[in-house]
Amino acid sequence: MLTCPLCREPLSLIDNGAACPANHRFDRARQGYFNLLPVQHKKSRDPGDNQAMVEARRRFLDGGHYAPIAQRLAALAAERAPQTWLDIGCGEGYYTAQLAEALPQAAGYALDISREAVKRACKRAPQLTWMVASMARVPLADASCQLLASVFSPLDWGEALRLLAPGGGLLRVGPTRTHLIELRERLYDEVRDYDDEKHLSNLPAGVQLAHSETLSFTLNLSEPQARADLLAMTPHGWRASAERRAAVIDQPLEVTVAVRYDWLQLT
């Protein structure tokens, strides 16, 4: 199932990691994840989210603020009953762990380009195969997955098509135009609108929208730490001015959470 990120040949497990027939070797960290991101595929020394961003997301998600999102994701995945699945851009593993709980009989894989994220994520569900790897060079075999999950994460459709087995699909979770609208109104003079269905215009041939639904609820963030963590785990944490960010952390915030689930299936 695992493939070499350098030559695409199958990887075999060895005592402390994995190796391919060309003798490309990759370590398995003591925490249990495989480091399948060769230095020549990195654009920086430590790509992806840093430790502070990962910790902010872990605190916020473990606080249960986005629990309804994860619960519905897991339920939708269970309806598809895949034999093998992959969480692309798994971050610190909050959603991945709930997918694993909903799919106990399936072989689960998860990857992120951030070593700091995966190092923490693999503790949530040790039974999965966790990887530090690039979304543009996923180290899994062709047509090996019945379900791909992408939660608030970018996607390489070329890789997705390569990975999906016939009849498989992508379960995508993304924000709608009203997601965190109150937060954005506090941070910016002008809130940029966007089309909830823009991503559908980029669907490749052979993929169709088979199911779509939205989920919306209100969060009351009374604790400064929760507001600071929400800022840190979104792009708004560095896009907005320091003054506006400080003002958000200083005052209680009631904010709308609004996401869209799409099941994008191979035809």
The per-residue pLDDT string of the chain (267 residues; one tens digit each, 9 = 90 and over) reads 999 999 999 999 998 899 999 999 998 999 999 999 986 555 555 656 788 889 999 999 999 999 999 999 999 999 999 999 999 999 999 999 999 999 999 999 999 999 999 999 999 999 999 999 999 999 999 999 999 999 999 899 999 999 999 999 999 999 999 999 999 999 999 898 888 888 998 899 999 999 999 999 999 999 999 999 999 988 888 888 999 999 999 999 999 999 999 999 999
The answer to whether residue 2 sits within a structural domain is no
Using alpha carbons, select from 159, 151, 152, 95 the residue that is nearest to residue 125.
Answer: 95
Domain of 153, in residue numbers: 12-266
| Whether the Cβ atoms of residue 108 and residue 88 lie closer than 8 Å to each other | no
Q: How many CB atoms lie within 10 A of CB 14?
A: 11
Helix, coil or strand: residue 149: strand
Whole-angstrom Cα distance, residue 230 to residue 250? 13
Residue 116 within any structural domain of the chain: yes
Domain presence at residue 4: no
Asked if the structure places residue 121 within a domain, the reply is: yes
Whether the model pTM is above 0.85:
yes
* DSSP symbols for 50-119: -HHHHHHHHHHHHTTTTHHHHHHHHHHHHHH--SEEEEET-TTSHHHHHHHHH-TTSEEEEEES-HHHHH
pLDDT at 52: 87
Q: How far apart are the first and last CA of the chain?
A: 24
Classify residue 7: in a domain, yes or no: no
Structural domain contains residue 163: yes
Number of domains in the chain: 1
Q: Token digits for 234? A: 């979104």
The one-letter code for the residue type at 170 is L
Per the DSSP assignment, residues forming a β-bridge with 171 are 149, 263
Contact status, residue 109 vs residue 11, Cβ threshold 8 Å: no
Instruction: Give a yes or no: residue 197 inside a domain.
Output: yes
Tell me, what DSSP letter sits at residue 48?
A: S
- 5 located within any domain: no
H or E element that contains 259: strand 253-266
DSSP-derived 3-state class of residue 240: coil
CATH number at residue 124: 3.40.50.150
Token pair, residue 184, equals 């954005």
